Amino acid sequence: MRASLITGLAGTRLMPDEARFLAGVRPCGLILFARNCEAPDQVRRLVADAKEAIGSDQVLVLVDQEGGRVRRLRPPHWRELPPAAAFARMSEADPDQAARAAWLVARLTAAELIGLGINTNCAPVLDIPIPGSHEIIGDRAYGTTPEAVARLGRAVAEGHLAGGVLPVVKHIPGHGRARADSHLELPVVATPREELSATDFAPFRALRDMPAAMTAHVVFSDIDPGSPASTSEIVTREVIRGEIGFDGLLMSDDLSMRALSGSMWARTEAVIRAGSDVALHCNGCLPEMEQAAAGVPALSGQPQRRFERCVTVLSRAERFDVTEAEAALARALLAAA
């Protein structure tokens, strides 16, 4: 059986105690950060060793490679990537060209990731920032209207899918209004639900057919004042699964973020109880990983079926024009300058 857990690793090579943990727990996924990525051959080795320890090739290997500020793979070994806001600027002049460029750059990114053994990208961000909100989203957003974010977000998601890379839309049902960074503290959004439905939830509703999504550690006080969305059964049932209609694999945001409180076991149990299919733990601290593993069930039933749907994405590999994609990337980098 596989555990409903995606876990981080400490460094650039798999340590013996980590290998024992992976073999015993058999998580359904891994997530890589800059601390894990030194050079292409080294990343490929790390991924291969981790999969061997788990005993399966059917492992989601995640990375945050949005572009701009949030990218774990950087030059000189990997391409420069623009932030989402660059495509939003391009869209002001030509929405169709911007969407095409977003698709091409995503397809190029997918090819680069697949070459490393990475099959899942935690992108696109579908959050809509508002004036006065925390800069944690900022230029990671594809625009300031639901329509613009949904249009470019879909292009990015479909570009990844075309390259056999699973996109993970985030942060459902929306992080754009937060006035705090959930990495450091718990944001509270007091906006009425009716307004959230018409704005923040709309891009996620438009992309509800995507196979995977990541929750937000944000309290929506008009819906559930007692819990952030990630640990709220009300938000998960009524908004994410209900109003938005998302039926793909739902994973929590990182359990080690300071927006959450309590032991790692309690945090893990809370996100699963709320309705997430998979818990995500990122920091590579083995004692915390062991606590998180103790709080998750085996992957089975509907979560297992959703996971299997995600795995089917990984067999795709549509052709694309690399020259056209490189030109689109150059234009986007220029727009970001």
Question: What pLDDT shows up at residue 93?
Answer: 94
Helix (H, G, I), strand (E, B) or coil at 6: strand
Q: Read off the tokens for 11.
A: 């460094």
The whole-angstrom separation of Cα 215 and Cα 9 is 21
| DSSP secondary structure of 272-300 | HHHT-SEEEE-S--HHHHHHHHHT-PBS-
Question: What pLDDT shows up at residue 62?
Answer: 98
Are 121 and 165 spatial neighbours (Cβ–Cβ below 8 Å)? yes
Question: What pLDDT shows up at residue 316?
Answer: 82
Q: Which strand (E) or helix (H) includes residue 60?
A: strand 60-63
Are 111 and 73 spatial neighbours (Cβ–Cβ below 8 Å)? no
Domain ranges of the chain: 3-336
Question: What pLDDT shows up at residue 246?
Answer: 98
Q: What is the sign, positive or negative, of the torsion defined by CA atoms of 289, 294, 299, 302?
A: negative
How buried is 180 (Cβ within 10 angstroms: 0-12 exposed, 13-18 middle, 19+ buried)?
A: middle
The whole-angstrom separation of Cα 207 and Cα 23 is 35
**98 to each of 33, 34, 148, 152, how far by Cα in Å?**
28, 29, 10, 8
| pLDDT by 10-residue block (mean), the chain, 337 residues | 96 98 98 98 98 97 98 97 98 97 98 98 97 94 97 98 98 95 92 98 98 97 97 98 98 94 94 98 97 96 97 90 98 95
Are 23 and 50 spatial neighbours (Cβ–Cβ below 8 Å)? no
Q: Which of 108, 13, 9, 103 is nearest to 59 (CA)?
A: 9
The whole-angstrom separation of Cα 238 and Cα 294 is 28
Q: Which homologous superfamily is 3-336 in?
A: Glycoside hydrolase, family 3, N-terminal domain (3.20.20.300)
* Torsion, Cα of 313, 145, 70, 33 (10° steps): -40
* Enzyme catalytic residues: 183, 253
φ, ψ of residue 219 in degrees (nearest 5): -85, 125
Question: What pLDDT shows up at residue 315?
Answer: 86
The whole-angstrom separation of Cα 122 and Cα 150 is 16
Question: What pLDDT shows up at residue 196?
Answer: 98
Q: Which of 158, 184, 145 is nearest to 105 (CA)?
A: 158
Q: Which of 33, 127, 36, 41 is nearest to 85 (CA)?
A: 127
